[in-house]
Chains A and B, each alone.
Chain A
């Protein structure tokens, strides 16, 4: 694949089965934002990348876990390491623990991303500092599948202070995920493993869902959360 193919959005070379898988994902109805929160399936995502730069760094791994009916479904996790042309720098390996061999022997990016889409379906995606995860995944899907994913995203970095203003009062500093997990005594025994981080984030989501349902009348719907998050963005400016 060459640079101009990406530039003009030409579909990359995919096997026939992969085309079908991609088509199946694109044919899914859009996520219904009127869905009740207590029945909503969420996919909590955490990505590992070669670095923190959105423009130059690459997606290395995706970890995810499903939240359904107000519980983390520990039997519905997802983990994939994407095959890399060259392993990321040694410093970075020390952070996420995915070794060079594993990186170069990971799954072909197209297959990995299609597996992710098959797992995600049309569920809303949730992350802490979601724009980073979203951008990493979008760049990768754009390059290998020719699409951006259509699922809505929820950013807990905005939703959490919106729902628990009493915990951030007077603080200008943006809070890290660890601050919130410490607040709610959520344990993360394996920080910087994508799935373990997603699990910690998912537990934070449970706390937030419970609070949201207390605050919003009539049970609470997905769009209430999305509006709350959007408002928090505006307030933060």
Chain B
């Protein structure tokens, strides 16, 4: 052995041994890893010290966190909320984009605990891009990993423990702690009550010979079904149980259970495996950490006797959305959940108002359009609704419509008070244009589908996302069928829809990252609804209509139609991921905007206030929208 200096083995092995634990280094080949390791230095940053800032100009190295935590803040001078701060731990790289694009970083990086970072000189970084395909992929597809980080970030700031982070995706099986308490239908009430008392459980499940649940009896049933009904305790449980209880398979997710509990307003949910009872999930199991419960809100909504109670429920929905968002529930599930609760809220509002209005002799169905129709409601969504109706022949149309309009006006006002602002475009049931008979709706749709007037087309798109919400739902279903037939019979219509959709371009700039609004009080902002989310929604709607899909939800439409249009699964997945990232940003912005007065601004975002990672993801998401648009342009030769 002789003297060696420079990159000696012990130092190389120390760096390589560390890097191997993290992507992309874990997949890089030995020679490139040695090349990288032989050019590293290791620097220390005391807690609180700045590592890299915009003022430093073009970074001269890539940073790889070896130990400690580095935080990325939004640009200086902007309000910093926790949700906007990204934390980078061991193995994370930063200044990747700044190096690739040869510019300064936009947001400062700060050590938030004692931190060591490996530094790789910029020229070696560039050389490595040429040498290692894996490294190049990593740097150019940095985004996917950022998206992961961004989600992790939201979860990190949650009040719940790390184990709760994936809570909504866990299977119900993992929540079952003890074997369920059950009995057969002929068991006496006395035995049931005694068992419940001794086992300290709130419910008793009743099963048949195959162990399939056939009924459920809960503690809250005791008062009205046994005590007040003065039932002898010798009666069989079958006389007082709730028959055919809702149940879910053990492989279903916590999220599905949450929805089931919310939609049905129940507290106990039997879990079955192959039809056999294996456990019971209670609301408390699902929301142990949550102050506002889904079922609680649902109960408040369904039992609300007046406007004030509904208003409170509207605020609770918002609070719950906040909590769930903080717990890391992703946008797809969260918007679905919000829509479920908002459905209940709207249905209750309709019911409350209906009691005060004379609607005799009228068959009517309350329709929701736009985001509620698509099951994509974010928190501050304004109303888009209408009514389809039929009436008994002895009545006069004008008189019927007037009655419905006054009813609709009351519903619209109540919904407004509950947190759904009146539609600025007046697409509401209280507008005579959108309170139409079945035949009038059909004529209206025919007009849109066959007409070439772009104005008419613009007005029509959100109606294609309609869903029956309250009243006689068969009217809604029939209307859907009629519309599908119309669309099929008018192929030119799709082409026009594409033309219309392509008019809105993603706000991506050639020089700057984003093109923001130029005029008025929106100057400097991007409207996430108008210029980002809608691009996906429009494309998905066209794809659904083109393939005859009846789905109204954007992700569902992309999934179902993507395959028949021969779009690769990976591309579809990327588009959906991008769409939900935009939705997630909207939610974040809406949930952090507490004051009512600013809610109308909630869809606007100033890209400067985003941390660098979110900026990159937003940019990439908009590129995904552009990709969808190009695909449509190609298919329709526009």
Chain B contacts with A in 3-25, Cβ cutoff 8 A = 3-15, 17-18
Q: For the complex, is A70 an interface residue (Cβ under 8 Å from B)? A: yes
**C-alpha gap A71/B60 in the complex (Å):** 14
Q: Which of A15-23, A135-143, A167-175, A192-200 contacts B (4 or more CB under 8 A)?
A: A192-200
Contacts of A63 in B (CB 8 A): 10
Contacts of B45 in A (CB 8 A): 210
The residue from B1, B11, B42 contacting A105, defined by CB atoms under 8 A apart: B1
Q: For the complex, is A189 an interface residue (Cβ under 8 Å from B)? A: yes
Contacts of B114 in A (CB 8 A): 184-185, 207
Q: Are A199 and B116 in contact (CB under 8 A)?
A: no
Q: Are A76 and B5 in contact (CB under 8 A)?
A: yes
Q: Are A203 and B44 in contact (CB under 8 A)?
A: yes
Contacts of A189 in B (CB 8 A): 13-14, 17
Chain B contacts with A in 552-609, Cβ cutoff 8 A = none
**C-alpha gap A75/B14 in the complex (Å):** 12
Known: A189-B17, A210-B46. A74 touches B10 (CB 8 A): no
Distance to closest chain A CB from B123 (angstroms) = 13
Q: Are A72 and B42 in contact (CB under 8 A)?
A: yes
Residue of A nearest to B2 (CB): A107
**C-alpha gap A189/B2 in the complex (Å):** 23
Q: Which of B33-41, B144-152, B413-421 contacts A (4 or more CB under 8 A)?
A: B33-41
Q: For the complex, is A187 an interface residue (Cβ under 8 Å from B)? A: yes
Q: For the complex, is A10 an interface residue (Cβ under 8 Å from B)? A: no
Residue of A nearest to B119 (CB): A71
Distance to closest chain A CB from B52 (angstroms) = 14
Q: Are A79 and B10 in contact (CB under 8 A)?
A: yes
**C-alpha gap A190/B2 in the complex (Å):** 20
**C-alpha gap A105/B2 in the complex (Å):** 8
The residue from A102, A193, A206 contacting B1, defined by CB atoms under 8 A apart: A102
**C-alpha gap A186/B14 in the complex (Å):** 12
**C-alpha gap A203/B14 in the complex (Å):** 13
Report, as a range, how many residues of chain A touch the other chain.
35 or more
Chain A contacts with B in 87-117, Cβ cutoff 8 A = 102, 105-107, 111-112, 115-116
Q: For the complex, is A73 an interface residue (Cβ under 8 Å from B)? A: yes
Contacts of B488 in A (CB 8 A): none
Contacts of A187 in B (CB 8 A): 18, 67
**C-alpha gap A81/B43 in the complex (Å):** 28
Chain A contacts with B in 183-237, Cβ cutoff 8 A = 184-187, 189-190, 193-196, 199, 202-203, 206-207, 209-211, 214
Q: For the complex, is A119 an interface residue (Cβ under 8 Å from B)? A: yes
Contacts of B6 in A (CB 8 A): 75-77
**C-alpha gap A203/B45 in the complex (Å):** 11
Q: Are B44 and A107 in contact (CB under 8 A)?
A: no
**C-alpha gap A102/B2 in the complex (Å):** 9
Known: A74-B37, A74-B41, A75-B41. A106 touches B1 (CB 8 A): yes
Residue of A nearest to B43 (CB): A71
Residue of B nearest to A111 (CB): B3
**C-alpha gap A176/B1 in the complex (Å):** 30
Q: Are A74 and B42 in contact (CB under 8 A)?
A: yes
**C-alpha gap A63/B9 in the complex (Å):** 11
Q: Are B1 and A107 in contact (CB under 8 A)?
A: yes
The residue from B1, B38, B67 contacting A185, defined by CB atoms under 8 A apart: B67
Contacts of B49 in A (CB 8 A): 210
Interface contacts (Cβ under 8 Å), in number, total 108
Q: Are B46 and A71 in contact (CB under 8 A)?
A: no
Q: Are B42 and A71 in contact (CB under 8 A)?
A: yes
Q: Are B8 and A77 in contact (CB under 8 A)?
A: yes
Contacts of B1 in A (CB 8 A): 81, 102, 105-107
Q: Are B44 and A210 in contact (CB under 8 A)?
A: yes
The residue from A71, A75, A195, A203 contacting B39, defined by CB atoms under 8 A apart: A75
Q: Are A112 and B14 in contact (CB under 8 A)?
A: no
Known: A102-B1, A207-B114. A78 touches B8 (CB 8 A): yes
Known: A79-B8, A199-B10. A112 touches B3 (CB 8 A): yes
Known: A78-B5, A102-B1, A111-B3. A193 touches B10 (CB 8 A): yes
Q: Are A75 and B40 in contact (CB under 8 A)?
A: yes
The residue from A65, A80, A184 contacting B4, defined by CB atoms under 8 A apart: A80
**C-alpha gap A151/B50 in the complex (Å):** 33
Q: Are B2 and A80 in contact (CB under 8 A)?
A: yes
Q: Are A78 and B43 in contact (CB under 8 A)?
A: no
Contacts of A209 in B (CB 8 A): 44
**C-alpha gap A206/B117 in the complex (Å):** 12
**C-alpha gap A195/B42 in the complex (Å):** 15
Residue of B nearest to A68 (CB): B41
Contacts of B3 in A (CB 8 A): 78-80, 107, 111-112, 115-116
**C-alpha gap A183/B18 in the complex (Å):** 20
Known: A115-B3, A206-B43. A74 touches B15 (CB 8 A): yes
Residue of A nearest to B113 (CB): A185
Q: Are B44 and A70 in contact (CB under 8 A)?
A: yes
Contacts of A203 in B (CB 8 A): 42, 44, 116
Contacts of A68 in B (CB 8 A): 41
Distance to closest chain B CB from A213 (angstroms) = 9
Known: A71-B119, A111-B3. A199 touches B44 (CB 8 A): no
Chain B 64-107 interface mask (CB, 8 Å, partner A; 1/0): 00010000000000000000000000000000000000000000
**C-alpha gap A112/B4 in the complex (Å):** 10
The residue from A102, A115, A196 contacting B5, defined by CB atoms under 8 A apart: A115
**C-alpha gap A116/B38 in the complex (Å):** 20
Chain B contacts with A in 412-438, Cβ cutoff 8 A = none
Q: Are A73 and B14 in contact (CB under 8 A)?
A: no
Q: Are B7 and A207 in contact (CB under 8 A)?
A: no
Chain A contacts with B in 146-172, Cβ cutoff 8 A = none
Contacts of A184 in B (CB 8 A): 114
**C-alpha gap A207/B111 in the complex (Å):** 13
Contacts of A106 in B (CB 8 A): 1-2
**C-alpha gap A182/B161 in the complex (Å):** 27
Contacts of A185 in B (CB 8 A): 67, 114
Contacts of B11 in A (CB 8 A): 65, 74, 77, 195, 199
**C-alpha gap A184/B44 in the complex (Å):** 11
**C-alpha gap A111/B3 in the complex (Å):** 9
Contacts of B10 in A (CB 8 A): 63, 77, 79, 190, 193-196, 199
For the complex of A and B, 6 pairs with smallest distance between CB atoms: A206-B44, A195-B10, A71-B43, A80-B3, A72-B42, A71-B41
9 contacts between A and B (CB under 8 A): A75-B6, A77-B6, A78-B8, A79-B8, A102-B1, A189-B13, A190-B10, A196-B10, A207-B46
> Interface of B with A (CB < 8 Å)?
1-15, 17-18, 37-46, 49, 67, 114, 116, 118-119
